[in-house]
Structure 1
């Protein structure tokens, strides 16, 4: 067994080690994008991910992905994974999101009911190179800009400033007390020092709306109580649909085992609720066609608590990383717990009818900003913000002093390199989107 503590090293030595890695593996190498010879057909890669999806929802998935290059990028994590996996990397691995595009950041409630902004989708999470997340993030910002008909320079600048925000956050984390930095949440208060003048008003509106987005509000919108029945979900096909008694029984049986993945005190608390209804609800874009249930729990009076039970599959990055075979829901939840300093206390996993699932609260004070609807200066502010958030998430499992040494070795050069990558990959995504639309049309 290895020792818990290591011999003391001056922080400057750790930073210098990071800078030395920059000399051995220049950022220009890891941020260069050129299609590999024999590049896999992106349409076939997307089609391959339809395995085990609900067949009648695949057309809806294709419809959503076809809308713009940005929606295609969001739904095609497997394509970008295949494109970037074989590029040089620094060799430093940690818990990464695996799908860190610009729409996978948002607000949610901490256990203390504080509003936090963080990475909020972990379906593809793995232990892998940190560069993969940053590449997907900067590329998505540039694709979002081009999809909303902003100038090429606006897309490049957003990617550049996202990398600058990432670098600046690591510089701060590298000099903070280690314990303090590890537990720093990206709340409204800690984000206040970031220059967000052009997006401040929208930021406040989204925060205000998120605070109202609770199980109670969801129950008011999507459930009803007839005189002769208990509370139940109101069908709204194809998004919200009723399920058979047999399917309901499978979900509830899975939730019994889910109780073993959360603490004893929370399991005891949940046992005081009663199940009022279970329904199937389509969520997201890349997840369309996967099985996803909502479970309506009733407590005291009109109190409602809604759980989401969502199918978990192998990460799109799995073929390209070292991995340990385990429950896919567990993989997702453990990755989320690693990257977020505060997470939903009801996170857990279950097996339903032989398939792995993750379990969490549904829409617990969740809110987000759609980057494809932002003006150029707003997108630039948002890009810096999500760059900061991603850096903090990576610093949970990779020493921020190492990353700081690498990223700040020549400052602006890091930002320019990732800006160039984003522009090159945006062009690739637009070509792939055109091919995908043509395929769907036929």
Structure 2
């Protein structure tokens, strides 16, 4: 068996991980108010739980992303390389109230605008654009306008990079020029012997080998692809997910590497229970990996159709091949005009993901509900403005408290 175990220079042993991961998470969340919003989904859900009945529109029961902040949207490629802007992370996906995704996106965008020191009037205009973009997805009469909607600068930049990103460039960015081995260091840590054996077992024994190999290669024939693990490591990645089991794995599928082809880079991510509120009267997969997979297939089919739900040494995990085109949006480059356009466009993306699960009558009824309680001189409903302002205040207070504790701990 290939793969590394033990300890390398600068890398912790498996039994040393958790305190270091917790410290890294605290550090990431202290970098900015927007970074704090990314890693504090539980605070958002606590705010939702405190809302009185009727304070927010109650939408149709559809699959929702559960954590639609700015970093969880971006270019996503299908197995054949077709690229679109979709939700990239479905860890918290549930069947719930679609308005929760809109609020989470609005909080993320307005916090990013404040972190970029954009004036408050831009935040106000962004919320109006957020409402208009989301509603546009449910208005069948605006179909021509939707098709002609231009991508904002932050999306154009990400799409341009995604469409020109080769597998070799992805390898350089992700595994530091390595073709068949993962260099241990800051981002990749050594595996325990048990982890190494479990990963080899997952990919190299039946029946999971056939299921995973077919999903990664798109094979539909009777022949099962041959899958061999070249190397694997614990992956220090994400913010809110830091502390869960996360692995990067290099695979050789059907001997492509021996023919000069690049290895297949795969992400294994532990699936845990969603913190997002779900509808009580709906049925969802009880297995968390299957829930994430089902959410992805409904909300981001380009991603969901190349994911696999599996079990790794008793834990539910989601497996997906990392495509060169998969990128997250960068909030650091938000400018005044671009921020407003980004709010409209990304709200439209979220709305289209929801609308695709509804029939025409349900879309029309939901649009009517969304347009209620709208002042004549404003294009955003009162509930949306109130909610995002309250969320921003609560998160700013919590962020400063987090920074205070972090500084004292250091």
TM-score w.r.t. structure 2 length? 0.81
- Distance apart, 1:138 and its partner CA: 1.0
Q: Could you tell me which of 334, 342, 365 is aligned with 1:374?
A: 334
Measured in 1, the distance between the counterparts of 2:386 and 2:364 equals 25
Q: Distance in 2 between matches of 1:269 and 1:376?
A: 54
Where does residue 199 of structure 2 map in the other structure?
A: 251
Partner residue, 1:415: 380
SS at match of 2:89: coil
Q: Does 1:116 align with 2:120?
A: no
> 271, 281, 289: which is aligned to 2:243?
289
Residue 120 to residue 267, structure 1, CA distance change in 2 (3 Å)? farther
**Alpha-carbon distance change, 281 to 367 in structure 1, aligned in 2, over 3 angstroms:** same
Question: Which residue of structure 2 lines up, in the alignment, with residue 231 of structure 1?
Answer: 180
1:155 matched to which residue of 2?
A: 123
SS at match of 2:243: coil
Q: Is the Cα contact below 8 Å between 2:45 and 2:277 reproduced in 1?
A: no
Residues 6-405 of structure 1 mapped to structure 2, 5 A cutoff: 54-87=18-51, 88=54, 89-90=57-58, 92-172=60-140, 193-196=148-151, 199-200=152-153, 202-221=154-173, 222=175, 231-237=180-186, 239-255=187-203, 256=205, 257=208, 259-260=210-211, 265=219, 271-298=225-252, 299=256, 300-317=259-276, 324=284, 326-343=286-303, 345-398=305-358, 399-405=362-368
Query: How has the CA–CA distance of structure 1 residues 125 and 60 changed in structure 2, closer, same or farther, with 3 Å as cutoff?
Result: same
Q: Partners in 2 of 1:116 and 1:59 — Cα distance?
A: 35
For the 8 Å contact 1:215–1:364, the answer to whether it is kept is: yes
Does the CA contact (< 8 Å) of 1:258 and 1:349 recur in 2?
A: no
Q: Supply the distance in 1 between the matched residues of 2:146 and 2:183 (Cα, whole angstroms).
A: 39
| Aligned position for 1:433 | 399
Secondary structure, aligned partner of 1:158: helix
- The question of whether the paired residues in 2 share the 8 Å contact of 1:155 and 1:423 is answered with no
Query: In structure 1, what is the Cα distance between the partners aligned to 2:112 and 2:366?
Result: 27
Partner Cα separation in structure 2 for residue 248 and residue 270 of structure 1: 23
Post-superposition Cα deviations, 1:91-111, rounded to whole Å, max 9, x if no partner, equal: 522100000112211001123
Q: Work out whether residues 344 and 361 of structure 1, in 8 Å CA contact, stay in contact via their aligned partners in 2.
A: no
Question: RMSD over aligned Cα, in angstroms?
Answer: 2.9
Contact 2:180 2:263 in 1 (8 A): no
Deviations 1:324-345 (A, max 9, x none): 5622111111101011243354
Counterpart of 2:62 in 1: which secondary structure? strand
1:407/1:430 Cα in 2 relative to 1: closer, same or farther (>3 Å)?
A: same
Q: Name the structure 1 match of 2:8.
A: none
Give the conservation status (yes or no) of the 8 Å contact 1:164–1:384.
yes
From the superposition, tell whether residues 409 and 386 of structure 1 become closer, same or farther in structure 2 (CA, over 3 Å): same
**Unaligned stretches of 5+ in structure 2?**
1-16
Is the Cα contact below 8 Å between 1:103 and 1:369 reproduced in 2? yes
Structure 2 Cα separation of the partners of residues 92 and 319 of structure 1: 12
2:139 match: secondary structure: helix
Number of matched pairs: 369
Please give the alpha-carbon distance, in whole angstroms, between the structure 2 residues aligned to 1:387 and 1:151.
21
1:139-175 CA-partner distances (Å, limit 9, x unpaired)? 1111111122111121121122111111112113x77
Q: State whether residues 136 and 142 of structure 2, in contact with CA within 8 Å, keep that contact through their aligned partners in structure 1.
A: no
The two structures have a TM-score, normalised by structure 1, of: 0.75
Distance 2:94 2:76 in 1: 22
